[in-house]
Copies of this chain bind each other. A is one copy, B any other.
Amino acid sequence: MHQLNAHLIQRGNALCLGLDLDPERIPAAYFRHANPLAALACDIVDATHDVVAAYKPNTAFFEQEGAKGWAGLEEVCRHIGTRAFLIVDAKRGDIGNTSARYARALFDGLGAHAITLAPYMGRDSVEPFLPPLPEAPAPGLGAGMGAFVLALTSNAGAADFQLLMVDGKPLYWRVLETVDAWNRSWAGHRLGAVVGATRPEDLASIRAAFPDLPLLIPGVGAQGGDLDAVRAALALGQGPALINVSRDILYGRDTVAEPEAVRQRALAYAQRLECR
């Protein structure tokens, strides 16, 4: 994901805004729209696209509204376009023939610059998401530039399997080693890893051991991750890192905040996440 590094430097911060919009918490004014969820997301994009480095809509929040929801996701992704780095958080992964369909859905259909993947099914579940490398990657943002593979997630259940010991190291470490090795061979440095902010000490070891691996870091804010600890950990390497914040930027007391308020909160986070 060479383009991600260039994009972050140009944008000047590492903030990824997670577009996890709860349909039950949409401000009343949006219900005059045919698709309230998509209309609100597009307004938030308009209010923040010059502030954030990336957006991360999660497919679940749209799928829960069925075909109408998926149409809304298409609308939001189109609306983001190349105004920011677009990660579609899908956590997919299936046998090769099926992963190729998901790649079509997420990259061709939604124009995602990158996606998230689950590692459990291994290499041939990841490969179809990385088409043959072009001789010279085009500058700027484009669909299908890479994928972030789940390594150490920010939830309590991470302990169930990710922390199991394999040859003296936790399983998530083996996932990181594997993704890093894939990057240096067939994947052409188009893979990154998802590492939760809720374990900053682990994040520091990860950044030190895999200094150039692109990282997507959820769990800051509502999930409890500490931003300064995350920043300190990331300073141990040079690879691109996106720090995702969702609920802490999006929500007011009861509903999603007005787009202008969302912008102000995004600005505050972006300033704390300045990068060289």
A residues in contact (CB < 8 Å) with B: 20, 58, 60-61, 63-71, 74, 91-99, 101-102, 104-105, 109, 118-126, 150, 153-162, 164-167, 171, 174-175, 178, 223
Q: How far is the CA of A126 from the CA of B158 in the complex (A)?
A: 12
Least distance between A127 CB and chain B CB atoms (Å): 8
- List residues of chain B with CB within 8 A of the CB of A61: 98, 101
* Given A156-B123, A171-B166: A63 in contact with B109 (beta carbons within 8 A): yes
Least distance between A179 CB and chain B CB atoms (Å): 10
Which residue on chain B has the smallest CB distance to residue A67? B71
Which residue on chain B has the smallest CB distance to residue A101? B60
Least distance between A55 CB and chain B CB atoms (Å): 16
Are B178 and A171 neighbours in the complex by a CB distance under 8 Å?
no
User: Nearest 6 A-B pairs (CB), nearest first?
Assistant: A122-B157, A122-B160, A67-B71, A60-B101, A63-B105, A124-B157
Extra contacts, 19 of them, besides A60-B98, A121-B162, A122-B160 (Cβ < 8 A), are A20-B98, A58-B94, A60-B105, A61-B98, A63-B70, A64-B101, A64-B105, A65-B109, A69-B105, A91-B93, A118-B118, A121-B150, A122-B155, A122-B161, A123-B156, A125-B157, A161-B175, A164-B166, A164-B174
Q: How far is the CA of A67 from the CA of B124 in the complex (A)?
A: 27
Q: How far is the CA of A101 from the CA of B62 in the complex (A)?
A: 8
Please give the count of copies of this chain that the complex contains. 2
Can you list 24 pairs linking A and B with CB atoms under 8 Å apart?
Answer: A20-B97, A20-B98, A60-B94, A63-B101, A64-B101, A64-B102, A66-B71, A67-B67, A69-B70, A69-B105, A91-B92, A91-B94, A91-B118, A118-B118, A118-B120, A118-B121, A119-B161, A120-B150, A121-B153, A121-B155, A121-B162, A124-B155, A124-B157, A164-B171
Q: How far is the CA of A203 from the CA of B156 in the complex (A)?
A: 30
* Given A58-B98, A94-B60, A122-B159: A66 in contact with B164 (beta carbons within 8 A): no
Q: How far is the CA of A58 from the CA of B20 in the complex (A)?
A: 24
Selected contact of A102 from candidates B60, B94, B96, CB within 8 Å: B60
Least distance between A252 CB and chain B CB atoms (Å): 18
Least distance between A62 CB and chain B CB atoms (Å): 9
Selected contact of A66 from candidates B105, B123, B124, B161, CB within 8 Å: B105
Least distance between A242 CB and chain B CB atoms (Å): 17
Which residue on chain B has the smallest CB distance to residue A166? B164
* Given A66-B109, A105-B63, A178-B160: A153 in contact with B95 (beta carbons within 8 A): yes
- List residues of chain B with CB within 8 A of the CB of A70: 63, 66-67, 69-70
- List residues of chain B with CB within 8 A of the CB of A101: 58, 60-61, 63-64
